[in-house]
Structure 1
Amino acid sequence: MEQEQIRLLKAEEIECRVGMISEKGLSLLLYKDARVDMKILDEVYGSSNWQRKHEVIGGNLYCTVSIWDEKKQQWIAKMDVGTKSNTEKEKGEASDSFKRACFSIGIGRELYTAPFIWISAEKIDIHKKADRYVTYDKFKVSSLSYNENREIKDISIVNQNGKIVYQLKSTSEKNTNEHIDGINQELRRTGIALDTVLRRYGVSSIEEMDENTYKKAMNSLKRTKPKAA
């Protein structure tokens, strides 16, 4: 039951939930659901080689996930406790305790390395409802990658319209400088304002552009006729 056996989460397996929200913007939390845990347990160990058990200890609901170790010829167990849910209390605690036990096994542990994700108000629709702020925007992870230490290295998050609202990328300083120089050269040639390009691709700076976005921007600019002399 080695952690290295467990693959890293894919972008489509990670969900986004609003954490804090104010008139200035909101923070996002990344999480996985129980279905992802079950799928990965099946993939790695086989559907017949793991099991789960729930029990109440001291008034709290715990989950034990056990995995069959063929070499040791014994079950290896991990246990954790769930937290109460605002709706469907028992179901929420059962699901949460299961997900936490799976974290102990190593599934989704890379989410702990996620950066603090803050999205400013100009990129989203925020409304005041009674005495609090709300948003009806939906968010999803569109792409991500990890480093050799199984830590999140690059991540892009889009809204329901597919527009990038948050991006973290570990581009080398050399590549970043090349991107900035390349874009600025085309902006001077075409007379197009930088803000126009940034708004079009949903980023706040050239540094936020990933390689694919940079290539799209450059290709579009190169097809644009130069400004009149």
Structure 2
Amino acid sequence: MEAIKILTQPLRAEEIEWKIIAAKHGQTTLAPYIDARAVMSRLDRAFGPFGWQVRYTPAQVGSEHGVIASIAIKHPESGEWVEKQDGSGASDMEPFKGGISGALKRAATVWGIGRELYSYPRVVVEGEHKYIPWKVLDRLKNLPKAVAEGKPLPEVIRLNAEGESVKKAG
């Protein structure tokens, strides 16, 4: 089915954002993620704006609150709605909006959108950074193409703030 091919195509560099997940012990660890707008664009391309819908449901496990996103897609041949879901807790920065966005992105992964991000190498930048250096971001623009082409990649990519490869000390 053509729509499934569109959903599961490897992400392009412009669909991927990078975030700092840790900055300690003299290094900064980065992780790739898909932006919620890129998820919506991918769903529109695959099914058209009237061929999919999302529903959000509040959730609670113990004392932790979160959101479940259910993405329903109208089957192109049968017209039946098929739904898959996943959830996310509230984010630190914007608890409400971040929880909704996180749930949408996780539910999109269940449909195959951006699933390859889980196989990306870990990216470590020398130094403890509050923001990702521009030269590092520029260097990482080539990574989605390498992943899509199945090129062998290291488990960890180590860079300096200039975006240049470095060997692990020790």
Q: Same fold (TM over 0.5)?
A: yes
Residue among 87, 90, 109 paired with 2:115:
109
Q: Which runs of 5+ in 2 are unaligned?
A: none
1:35 Cα deviation (Å)?
Answer: 0.6
Aligned to 2:12: 10
CA gap of 1:29–1:101, structure 2 versus 1, over 3 A, is: same
Q: Which runs of 5+ in 1 are unaligned?
A: 127-133, 166-201, 206-229
SS of residue matched to 2:22? strand
- Structure with more relative contact order (C-alpha pairs < 8 Å, separation 6 or more): 2
Residue among 29, 32, 39 paired with 1:30:
32
Residue among 93, 97, 103 paired with 1:91:
97
Residue among 115, 130, 134 paired with 1:135:
130
SS of residue matched to 2:41? helix
CA gap of 1:157–1:13, structure 2 versus 1, over 3 A, is: farther
Amino acid at match of 2:142: S
Equivalences, count: 154
CA gap of 1:19–1:87, structure 2 versus 1, over 3 A, is: closer
Give the RMSD, CA atoms, in angstroms.
3.0
- For residues 114-193 of structure 1, what are the structure 2 equivalents within 5 Å? 114-121=120-127, 126=128, 134-138=129-133, 139-140=136-137, 141-144=140-143, 145-146=145-146, 153=152, 163=162, 165=163
CA gap of 1:36–1:153, structure 2 versus 1, over 3 A, is: farther
Amino acid at match of 1:29: A
Q: Deviations over 1:147-166 (max 9, x none)?
A: 67x86756999999xx4x2x
Structure of greater Rg: 1
Identity %: 27
- In 1, Cα distance between the equivalents of 2:90 and 2:70? 17
Aligned to 1:78: 84
CA gap of 1:87–1:68, structure 2 versus 1, over 3 A, is: same
